[in-house]
Amino acid sequence: MKNTYLGFPLLVVLTACAAGPSANSPVASNRVVTDVLSDGATILGRYDPASFTTANARKMASFSCERAILASFGESDVDGQRVFQATCRDGTVHGAGSGVNFERTGPNSVTYSSVFSLNGKITFAEGDFPL
């Protein structure tokens, strides 16, 4: 019975991640959301072009890449927001299923919060990120 209760918090965290911000749905104007796709190298993201530039989005996408190097970047307008797809040249830092959300804190800065698996455990990281 004890094991059932230990698994419940993990289930809640995974459910919250699945229902949380996603590049597939509209985001608040002060946020940029990125998700690493199942290939472990492609990043899908979304942002409001009234609040962020393409250069900002490229820099935020590269944050998930090994050595912060993108191989490609493209974007399109969807429902008044920009959706972008980027590919990391050398793969991503945390692999498939990871994601990073950025939130504006000033004219040239944002904070990031990321979720990823590390040694089989769901891990969170956060910090400041200069634009």
pLDDT 10s digits, 48-84: 999 999 999 999 999 999 999 999 999 999 999 999 9
- Rg of the Cα trace of the chain? 15
**Domain spans of the chain?**
22-130
66, 96 in Cβ contact below 8 A? Answer: no
pTM for this one?
0.80
Residue 60: what residue type?
M
60, 102 in Cβ contact below 8 A? Answer: yes
HEC string for 83-112: EEEEEECCCECCCCCCEEEEEEEECCEEEE
The first and second tokens of residue 102, run together, are 């950025």
122-131 average pLDDT score: 92
